[in-house]
Chain A
């Protein structure tokens, strides 16, 4: 009896009712905290600030709309979204736009560019949720293998673009979902051991410029004007900021263009330089608040699909935050990923906010 009841919850077609109050004020507050704080260092460039504001506004609107949609709709749309995303990844190398030797973008008429890999930030957690939702928890070995496949297929397509950084980050988020799904700890440790053993193989598979980035990480002074430039200048920006920073708009590293990509991938170096340790710590606290709230929502969700999808979106988000800041601080190689919600440009903020909209939707539709 109970069985039928639960099954009906999952599959019964329910007409989604649209309530604009379907959003989570706490998550929204934490997100706006991150966004506004990130904008403080953009304010001197009016054009950039305006463009970013427009993007954020579009993103927030998309988030609110996404929050109104019943999670069951997402469940139903999982397969089209995931496989549609894969299809886009497959065609990208043939019809995509090539920038700096890598073909990551699809261009819609009107010049709007879009990275299919952005879509996968949401599609992979959705697909994993969908799959594990239909199978007994904790997953058996075969289920885990399917889960890995769900992550690996888009990751390999993205590697071919080539965009190793995004592929690794998406994989990390996806693997996080598998961990959350409740697989046995010893499998996790075995996998970690295997990964450590396979690291030399990975090194062999990497392209020369990717190896250079790793080498540069450990010894940027080797080529201070070339490969080492970014990392030296970014560490210099952060380090010279000190505890309280040089003051807003006083960052010489960014203002005088020594710091590359100061609006995009290296923006946290500007925060470190102008607002100091205090500023970066505040930003990290805000990010932790977003993560904590998101994970809390995941634990409160009533279905496996919702839990894993929300957990996946949050983990992917956090992996981006961590890897970006680690890169700027010289802990990770330069992988060219944006700082979520703060870096200027691209469609990253919009797709992220849509993801948060789905998180909110899960939280406000707990009773299905």
Chain B
């Protein structure tokens, strides 16, 4: 074995080592060149895209939601404003044990299972590091408790935001409507750019109809954040533009008077200023406190409201459809006059019963037969109105026929929405031959016309529509479409006025005046003896200080079979007739036209008329005093 550490070997080993070292160095050099190539790729070729990525990391665009425009009534009373409310928000990225933290927070702040459920829903559609509300509307002491312990939970913060507030609570809810928290469906529907960061959107009423006006414009902020979502500085900012304020025709004092006059009964009152079409009162009773809905209502409370038989969430004034009953008679009277089917002198004998020529079915006048058999005797048109003779109008409707009656009634807006800016207003139903064929698949019978003559059958109206009809009569056929908006700051957001509606065609000026006289008799004709007084005189006309023209109505709720008698006492409360009263005053120069509905109230003159009287009293008395 040769010695491994031979000098010759050492020398050759040394040179071999040098070669190898050089090779290894060249490999290292080429590896460094690979790194440099990679750096050139990242820092030169792809620099732009990485710059954008880097900015996307740190620069966040934050939306600054605008404050909603305020809503005032005609006297400047605030109907909807914005109030700071504090909410408890969580940034889940900063919270390790979310359930644990929620559990601890529950000991300081009232947090229901529903809150947690809704919070988890909201979590699904948030952006990274966006704070998500767990509880809104914190009380002062809750805020204090969380703040004292706040340092224990990074990612738990209390923020203040403006939320909608309705100072008059349930009084105005069906007139003004309300906002709701933007939900999934809204998010789909709304323009993402215009609504970024906006938490509330008009849900009902004026808030819904004038959403675009009230909303304002979202502002923007570019902020620099770190990886934990903490804000380091604001880079630039476009401030939000506050929504425009709106002043409505509504008169909250009149609204309160109307609501009080209903005295807790289910029903609706709509009051319109005939000259302007302005809606001064729009009451649907019972109402509810819209503030409950703004920041999320408690489940049990909502359940109670939603399932209540009194349906407080339902806006009867705008969406409730009822048979108008005898309040339709003035329109039938004018239609008869216009078509020449009757005149002011013609009389009939009201025996309390009506048969179509050759017909077998007996149409009775239910209102007066109970214990007073025999009808109203000799009746002319004026008396037919103030005594509300069914038999006269059965006969007149039969003479007029459905075509003439339906098209004439159409001029008053039956069966269509004539209001300009009432959200969700429904058109009701004005039956005709075509309508019946289409909707019932049946031809029109003469008997249908007879029923239509007293506002029964398929004819359906809303209290708003009936107030509109009353205003048209008060204006002697001239139309001013009803509206809520009085004015708005800045450019007045004009509503689409559409085609101006022409004056009701057919009746002469004299016919209009005589009809108004007949309707005045409904209220003022008294002390005339048995079956000679106006139907409402006893209830509201005996001590009235101004001239009111009115008409009562009573609408059947349940069908009554042929030959059966209507026995109010025997019926369930919710099956009783609806009471109507329509009126305007002063009769010669109407300042107000009103429709009153009391659901299942019974008689229109006895139940609904006093409500109308109270509304007029409230509205006219100060005016009269001034004069």
Contact = CB atoms under 8 A, between A and B. Distances in A.
B50 A298 contact: no
Contacts of B46: 239
B627 interface: no
Given A291-B28, A295-B21, A258 B58 contact: yes
A2 B9 CA distance: 12
Interface stretch (B220-228, B249-257, B409-417, B466-474): B220-228
Contacts of B20: 179-180, 182
Given A137-B9, A239-B49, A256-B224, A180 B21 contact: yes
Contacts of B57: 233, 236, 252-253, 256, 258
Interface stretch (A31-39, A147-155, A322-330, A350-358): A322-330
B7 interface: yes
Interface string A285-318: 0011001100100110000100100010001001
Q: Chain A: interface secondary structure?
A: helix
Nearest to A3: B3
Q: Give the contact-size bracket for chain B.
A: 35 or more
A331 B51 CA distance: 20
Contacts of A287: 32
Contacts of A292: 25
B160 interface: no
Contacts of B228: 257
Contacts of A276: 43
A339 interface: no
Given A240-B50, A307-B17, A326 B39 contact: no
B5 interface: yes
Given A240-B54, A253-B54, A322 B40 contact: no
Q: Chain B: interface secondary structure?
A: helix
B236 interface: no
Interface in B1-33: 2-7, 9-10, 13-14, 16-18, 20-21, 24-25, 28-29, 31-32
Contacts of B24: 176, 179-180, 295, 311, 315
A331 B38 CA distance: 8
B232 interface: yes
Interface string A172-196: 0000100110100000000000000
Contacts of B49: 239
A137 B226 contact: no
Given A258-B227, A329-B42, 5 more contacts: A6-B10, A180-B17, A295-B25, A326-B34, A331-B34
25 contacts: A3-B3, A3-B5, A3-B6, A6-B7, A136-B4, A136-B5, A138-B16, A238-B50, A239-B54, A242-B51, A243-B47, A252-B57, A253-B58, A256-B58, A257-B226, A257-B228, A258-B58, A291-B25, A295-B24, A298-B17, A311-B17, A322-B28, A326-B38, A329-B39, A329-B42
Interface of A: 2-3, 6-7, 10, 134-138, 176, 179-180, 182, 232-233, 235-243, 252-253, 255-258, 272, 276-277, 280-281, 284, 287-288, 291-292, 295, 298-299, 304, 307, 311, 315, 318, 322, 325-326, 329-331
